[in-house]
């Protein structure tokens, strides 16, 4: 790779696979900001969270190399993609990691299931400025055009300002026209009625994951779900330290 040293080095992945429209859009945008390396799963890996491949080995292969862009596909999960890229491909730490654009929302609790956000948390864990971009439209042909200028703007401003170690961004956009950007917090809520039960030809039950999201705080105006429901992009600073620091003193009073 002959990357110009003073351009930002940008690492890209997703969880919808290397041929998804969302990652093509994201790659085009990022090529205007820096030199790009894509390491994406070779097929859909939605809802893979931070899963790692441990029971069998993984591989990657180069798909394309041209001025300012090298693209690889990988047989593993999104988090495997980032680990492989950082350990086996890049010759210096990327200045920015972006994942997506995800076809579907990663707002609220979806962050803990999302393969896209898993890759972002992995970049963050590795000390890289990391941002996940998601559009609330699962369609393979989703229209990212309203979101595109905001993706470029958010990445640019993040490169200028940086983030504290251990903090990354979870950026979600509504479909259609966008009213602006809201800095938000992760909304509390829960998936319900999560399985469709069916019966196979020999009479055995099987279950497809499905469900509906219930917002536990629909009145709150500072959540990502509120922003999206009101036509705004939500930007949630998210972290890899899961410690409930505010509960530590309570636990110290438990009488073990």
Tell me the three state secondary structure of residue 31. Answer: helix
Q: Which is nearer to a second copy, 100 or 115 (CB)?
A: 115
Structure tokens that stand for 144 in this block: 């990212």
Nearer to a second copy, 141 or 208 (CB): 208
Q: Provide φ and ψ at 211, rounded to 5°.
A: 120, 170
Give min distance, CB of 49 to a second copy, in A.
Answer: 4
What's the closest the beta carbon of residue 68 comes to a second copy, in angstroms?
25
Rg (CA), the chain: 19
Residues in Cβ contact with 160 at an 8 Å cutoff, skipping those fewer than 6 apart? none
Q: How many residues does the chain have?
A: 256
Which residue's CB is nearer to a second copy, number 177 or number 242? Answer: 242
Residue 121: CB minimum distance to a second copy, A? 6
Q: How far is the CB of 26 from a second copy (least distance, A)?
A: 19
Tell me the closest approach of the beta carbon of residue 160 to a second copy, in angstroms.
8
CA distance 154 to 169: 10
| CA separation, residue 158 to residues 33, 70, 84, 116, 192 (Å) | 12, 23, 24, 18, 35
Closest CB to a second copy among 4 and 166?
Answer: 166
Pairing label, strands 130-135, 167-173: parallel
CB of 25 to a second copy, least distance (A): 20
Is the CB of 2 or the CB of 192 nearer to a second copy? 192
- CA 71, 72, 73, 79 dihedral sign is negative
Cα–Cα distance for residue pair 99/88, rounded to 1 Å: 19
d(CA 44, CA 143): 19
In the complex with a second copy, the residue whose CB is nearer, 22 or 115, is 115
Least distance in angstroms from the C-beta of 138 to a second copy: 11
Q: In whole angstroms, give the CA distance from residue 62 to residue 48.
A: 23
Of 67 and 255, the one with the shorter C-beta distance to a second copy is 255
């Amino acid at each position: 790779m002959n990357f110009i040293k003073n351009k930002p080095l940008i690492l890209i992945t997703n969880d919808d696979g290397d041929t998804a429209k969302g990652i093509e859009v994201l790659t085009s945008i990022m090529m205007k900001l820096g030199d790009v390396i894509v390491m994406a799963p070779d097929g859909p890996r939605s809802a893979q969270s931070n899963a790692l491949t441990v029971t069998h080995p993984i591989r990657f292969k180069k798909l394309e190399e041209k001025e300012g862009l090298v693209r690889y596909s990988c047989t593993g999960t999104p988090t495997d993609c980032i680990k492989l890229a950082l350990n086996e491909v890049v010759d210096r730490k990327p200045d920015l990691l972006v994942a997506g654009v995800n076809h579907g929302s990663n707002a609220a609790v979806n962050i803990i299931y999302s393969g896209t956000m898993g890759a972002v948390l992995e970049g963050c864990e590795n000390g890289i400025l990391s941002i996940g971009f998601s559009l609330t439209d699962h369609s393979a042909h989703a229209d990212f055009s309203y979101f595109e200028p905001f993706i470029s703007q958010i990445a640019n401003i993040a490169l200028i300002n940086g983030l504290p170690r251990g903090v990354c961004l979870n950026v979600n956009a509504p479909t259609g026209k966008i009213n602006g950007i809201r800095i938000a917090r992760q909304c509390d809520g829960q998936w319900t009625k999560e399985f469709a039960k069916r019966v196979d030809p020999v009479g055995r039950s099987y279950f497809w994951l499905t469900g509906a999201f219930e917002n536990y705080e629909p009145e709150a105006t500072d959540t990502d779900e509120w922003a999206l429901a009101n036509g705004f992009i939500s930007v949630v600073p998210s972290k890899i330290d899961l410690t409930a620091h505010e509960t530590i003193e309570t636990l110290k009073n438990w009488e073990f």
